[in-house]
Chains A and B, each alone.
Chain A
Amino acid sequence: MTEYKGVMVYAEVTDGKLAAITVELLGCGRKLADELGEELMATLIGRTVSNLAPEAITFGADKVYTVEDQLLEDYQTDAYLPVMARLTGEVMPQIILLGQTEIGRDLAPRLAFRLETAATLDCVDLAIDMESKWLRQTKPVYGGNARAVFLTESRPQVATVRAKAMSPPERNTARKGEVIPFTAGLEPAAIRTRVLEKVPQAVAEIRLEDAEVIVSGGRGIGNAEGFQQLAKLAGLFKGAVGASRPAIDNGWVPDVSQVGLTGKIVTPELYIAIALSGASQHMAGCSGSKNIIAINKSPEANIFREARFGVVGDWEKVLPAFTDKVRELLTE
């Protein structure tokens, strides 16, 4: 009987580079592989990706599988899934890690179902159970109101990891590793979907994930105009504007501004939450912020449970005075 061995990271690529989540996964995967005394593997899939293999090695991979094909230019389930299924079927890693991104969310469950095993999505902690050697997978559930620890008692154990839940490892340029090309073997006819168009929704110069300061608004802002006041404050800090789900659903701000369990996960220095109750599913996206500041008319609002400083009051009165004072202090 062949044995399942090693940890494999699906190495996602953004803008021609290893995605930030990929580096985090390599760090976490390295630790798990060391605990098991096994190898860490990375898999790069795309049209041209093999140039990134040395990078994956410097971040901890022992082996990098590269799969290049023009049919793999865009992520599509029907293209990437058979490649991952065939590769993992041959290599037989006992753990497969992916990022909790729009790719990982799609690929991980399909892969697990195809390999007749199971996946756990959105993990924030992973550890090897020292007795059983199974992977303990911790993930927030009930919109962040609770955490659950799961074991998948079949191999490979598939998990996706939340952005910024794991710290990125240091680069070690002295590390050596092996690069192994793998043939995609795809039939064009097997890809049933077609990407017709990609529509970027640029909101500002600063992406939410990169912003040091985020000014976020919720249902209480009431309309799109209100968000312009938030944008003014964000502008003073050279920050970005975020929003909770109700504000998105009402169309007051573009979809890409959503912070939360099903939106962006952000970790700015300063997160200013205005007229935002702080539902668990929103906090899931921002509780990693260094400092949360809350302005809300209800003293009972959940946001005050996680905020460092707060004002209980009507945001329409508090915010303009706050913004003016910030502007004054910044020009001093």
Chain B
Amino acid sequence: MNLIVCVKQVIDPEAPPASFQIDATSNKVIPPSGVSAVISPFDENAVEAALRIKDARGGKITVISLGINLLREVVKKPLSMGADELILLEDEAFADGDSHSTAYALAMAIKKIGDYDLIFCGRQASDWDAGQIGSGIAEILGLPGVTLAKKVDSTDGQAKVERITADGYEVVEVPLPAVITVSNELGEPRYPTIKGIMAAKKIEPVIWKPADIGVASSRVGAAGRRTKLLKLFPPVQESKCDLISGESPEEAGVNLALKLREAKLF
């Protein structure tokens, strides 16, 4: 099985919301100091989905990441979890893309890899929450896709996917090659092992520029956008919490009940 996983480097979404700042003139987020970049959490779920198939069925996992200033210790994490190869689409031309230009570049890179059975993406990245890359890649490559997967298995040229629905899940069968987007319901991604970290150190990422994947710089990154960002701003938030106390935590609980009753909340 040849498995491909697309991952994105993002600002750690677990950073305290108070540290979140926007530069209004450039419409960009100011990376908070002391907060490291990470792989977008749903993309780690996607890596985990691929690893489970590799564990059960064997195969090779190729990870692709697109961006600029990709920190090697960040983008190598999937390798330390057990992936085999890393391709970086790293060039100024790839920067500041939208779902369209990014999916196009990733699809062209996957086309260059050529030999693949399953392509995994996270359901959405934790920065722009666009949620379109997997669907875009499937559409550009003309592949079937299943979104919002919580479980994936594959045998005999097919994948069986548990897809999340509003009131539970459905089991969908899809022929390979196919694109699967993965959700957190898949379960916690594994931690890198010491052995994995050592192995990852020895793997040199392959760097591809637009010309390497046969695309014009005008089709990718900011130049290839179809959507225009007009404005990025913080939502209005009122701080008005009335903190209820007591001599003990138990008494605080009792006082809270009394307060809610007084406010006619129940």
Contact = CB atoms under 8 A, between A and B. Distances in A.
Contact of B245 (A77, A119, A245, A311): A311
Contacts of A136: 230
A133 interface: no
Interface string B147-189: 1101000000000101111111111111100000001110110
A146 B235 contact: yes
Nearest to B127: A142
Contact of B188 (A114, A139, A249): A249
Nearest to A284: B129
Interface string B48-78: 0000000000000000000000000000000
Given A102-B164, A142-B126, A150-B229, A196 B172 contact: yes
Given A110-B135, A199-B171, A280-B17, 10 more contacts: A110-B145, A121-B130, A146-B20, A198-B168, A255-B169, A279-B17, A280-B13, A302-B17, A309-B263, A313-B253
B242 A310 contact: yes
A117 B16 CA distance: 36
Contact of A309 (B146, B234, B242, B251): B242
Interface in B174-211: 174-175, 183-185, 187-188
A308 to B, nearest CB: 7
A146 B100 CA distance: 21
A193 B176 CA distance: 10
B131 A105 contact: yes
B184 A256 contact: no
Chain B contact-residue range equals: 35 or more
30 contacts: A77-B147, A78-B144, A102-B165, A113-B132, A113-B140, A121-B130, A122-B129, A141-B232, A142-B127, A143-B126, A144-B235, A147-B233, A148-B231, A192-B175, A193-B172, A195-B170, A255-B164, A262-B42, A291-B263, A291-B265, A293-B260, A295-B256, A306-B237, A306-B241, A313-B252, A318-B249, A318-B252, A318-B256, A320-B253, A330-B266
Interface string A218-230: 0000000000000
A150 B124 CA distance: 17
B112 interface: no
A331 interface: no
B230 A150 contact: yes
A83 B231 CA distance: 34
Rank and list the top 5 A-B pairs by shortest CB-CB distance, nearest first. A321-B253, A325-B257, A322-B253, A317-B249, A118-B226
A145 B241 contact: no
Interface residues of A, number: 96
Contacts of B216: none
Interface string A256-292: 1010011000000110000000011100000000010
Contacts of B91: none
A279 B150 CA distance: 22
Contacts of B128: 141-142, 148
Contact of A318 (B20, B130, B188, B250): B250
Interface of B: 11, 13-14, 16-18, 20, 22, 27, 29, 42, 98-100, 103, 123-124, 126-132, 135-136, 138-140, 144-148, 150, 160, 162-175, 183-185, 187-188, 226-235, 237, 239-245, 248-261, 263, 265-266
B169 A109 contact: no
B160 A113 contact: no
A14 B167 CA distance: 11
Contacts of A281: 13, 126
A154 interface: yes
Interface in A98-112: 101-102, 105-106, 109-110, 112
Given A109-B99, A122-B131, A311-B252, A146 B232 contact: yes
A153 B229 CA distance: 11
A140 interface: yes
A304 to B, nearest CB: 5
B254 A322 contact: yes
A167 interface: no
A195 to B, nearest CB: 5
B187 A251 contact: yes
Contacts of B167: 200-202, 207, 256
A119 B129 contact: no
Contacts of B148: 102, 105-106
Nearest to A213: B266
A59 to B, nearest CB: 21
A250 B189 CA distance: 11
Nearest to A258: B185
A151 B188 contact: no
A309 B174 contact: no
Contact of A148 (B13, B164, B229): B229
A287 to B, nearest CB: 9
B46 to A, nearest CB: 14
A278 to B, nearest CB: 8
Given A109-B99, A150-B229, A196-B160, A309 B170 contact: no
B150 to A, nearest CB: 7
Given A105-B131, A106-B135, A310 B172 contact: no
Q: Give the most central of A237, A311, A319: most B CB within 10 Å.
A: A311
Contacts of B146: 77, 193
Contacts of A201: 167-169
B147 A304 contact: no
B229 A318 contact: no
Nearest to A119: B132
